Amino acid sequence: MGPSPPVSATTTQAGAIGECLAAAGILEASGGRLSPFKPIADDGGLDLLLLDKESWRPIPLQIKARRKFDNEKAKTVQFDLRRKTYSESRGGYLLCIKLAGLAIEAFWLFPMADLSNLARPTPTHLVVVASAKASAKDRYTPYRMTSFAEVAARLLEF
């Protein structure tokens, strides 16, 4: 018997990969200041809780990770946030990640308070369709970042 053909990760597995990369990347980029905690159950849309060890401020973070572009030419990727897990009043952030294997191709960090004005609403989701092109100028451009250092700095700014 020869080797098995490669199998691609499921969307759930890609999400778990994105969460692990985000936890490690934010911890490293913040010099250990932002310490990530993973809830036992994340059915409320909380994937990581970051603790700012200087202020003791908790920072809720929901993470959406995708592996493929929805439109290869435009380099757009769609992230769907379930309305059931969205709460503007609870604060926190949505980190959207475009994965390229174990590398990050693009990041978008949204304060939850901004999403109702940015995302396209459907009856069940808030939908973000963002371009990862460096030259793109869409409504999500101000939220696009290129490194975990930018993500950590932005989280500490708010």
Q: pLDDT digits over 80-131, tens only?
A: 988 877 776 678 999 999 999 888 999 999 999 999 899 999 999 999 999 9
CATH architecture of 11-157: 3-Layer(aba) Sandwich (3.40)
Q: pTM here?
A: 0.91
Place of tokens 């109702």: 116
Give Cβ neighbours of residue 89 (< 8 Å, ≥ 6 apart): none
Give the chain's largest Cα–Cα span: 57
Question: Average pLDDT of 2-17?
Answer: 78
Beta bridge partners of 98: 66, 106
